Amino acid sequence: MKPWPIAEVVPHAGEMVLLDGIEEVEAERIVCTRTVQPGALFVDADGSMPAWVGVELMAQSIAAWAGCRARADQQPVQLGFLLGTRHYACNVDAFPSGCRLRVEAVRTFHDEHGMGVFTCRIDAPDIHAEARLTVYRPRDADAFFEQLAGEPKHV
């Protein structure tokens, strides 16, 4: 599968595109990159990025994988949702300025309703983070939002 430019395969725009690019994309796997730069979104004053942002980097890698698949099938890039993770482990508190992160996501489960699970990792010299992310992509995001808007609010 072709690795598209990142901005063409994620449903994010501008500063919210946190990844720099795609290194590899396969049927069930993607590898993306991010170099931590001072002044970027979610970067602290010292130029480092808090490790908790790693979950979003993983989620955007999954979005990029789905976007590459959509583009390969000549379909539009669709909105998906990060439902969460039960465990995110990282051996550092922050990713240092100038650090080039390698973000990998591998699909390990999916069903016909749009649910999926990905095993993800972030690696760099002396850095390792991992998580299993659960995601959901409705077949029709507009209809999904309309359905949610029509349901009564529960408190």
The CATH number of the domain holding residue 103 is 3.10.129.10
Total domains, the chain: 1
Residue 83: what pLDDT?
A: 94
Report yes or no on 108 lying in a domain. Answer: yes
> What is the token pair recorded at 130?
């991992």
Report yes or no on 105 lying in a domain. Answer: yes
The whole domain housing 121 covers 6-150
Scan for tokens 């789905």, then name that residue.
66
Report yes or no on 155 lying in a domain. Answer: no
Per-run averaged pLDDT (10 residues), the chain, 155 residues: 87 93 97 97 97 98 96 92 94 98 97 93 98 90 66 63
Residue 145: what pLDDT?
A: 61
Report yes or no on 130 lying in a domain. Answer: yes
Report yes or no on 1 lying in a domain. Answer: no
Residue 55: what pLDDT?
A: 98
Report yes or no on 103 lying in a domain. Answer: yes
Report yes or no on 58 lying in a domain. Answer: yes
Report yes or no on 110 lying in a domain. Answer: yes
Residue 155: what pLDDT?
A: 58
**C-alpha span between 47 and 32 (Å, rounded):** 21
> What is the token pair recorded at 20?
């720099």
Enter the pTM of the model: 0.90
**C-alpha span between 101 and 67 (Å, rounded):** 21
Residue 4: what pLDDT?
A: 86
Residues 118, 149, 112, 67, CA torsion sign: negative
